[in-house]
């Protein structure tokens, strides 16, 4: 990922957006029993995450961001379980 690291927009906007989506995905997975369509919600939030990752890249690819984010959202149960195991 080719970010413009010295760009203040990336530091002040993109990184907090990415962190926000990751925290939401983590929280939704921990509260799994209360949500009916969790995997669809995780996939949609993952797609938004993928689009946020694409912001300020040299070549913005909408489809690539959506596919990457959708996969990231669907793999949420695996990385959340891994983080919970590592925490213990």
pLDDT, one tens digit per residue, over 26-83 is: 787 777 777 777 777 777 888 777 777 776 666 667 777 778 777 877 787 887 788 7
Q: Is residue 51 part of a domain?
A: yes
Structural domain of residue 42, as residue ranges?
Answer: 8-87
Q: Is residue 71 part of a domain?
A: yes
Give me the phi and psi of 38, to 5 degrees please.
Answer: -65, -45
Distance between CA atoms of 25 and 27, rounded to whole angstroms?
6
Counting the structural domains of the chain, the total is 1
Q: Is residue 39 part of a domain?
A: yes
* 5's tokens: 């690291």
5 vs 10 pLDDT, higher one: 10
Q: Is residue 1 part of a domain?
A: no
Q: Which residues contact 8 (CB under 8 A, 6 or more apart)?
A: none
Q: Which residues contact 11 (CB under 8 A, 6 or more apart)?
A: 5
Distance between CA atoms of 13 and 10, rounded to whole angstroms?
6
């Amino acid at each position: 990922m080719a970010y413009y690291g010295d760009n203040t927009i990336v530091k002040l906007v993109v990184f907090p957006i990415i962190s926000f989506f990751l925290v939401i995905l983590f929280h939704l997975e921990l509260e799994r029993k209360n949500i009916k369509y969790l995997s669809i919600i995780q996939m949609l939030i993952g797609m938004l995450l993928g689009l946020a990752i694409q912001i300020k890249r040299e070549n913005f690819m909408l489809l690539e961001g959506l596919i990457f984010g959708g996969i990231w959202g669907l793999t949420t149960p695996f990385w959340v379980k891994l983080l919970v195991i590592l925490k213990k």
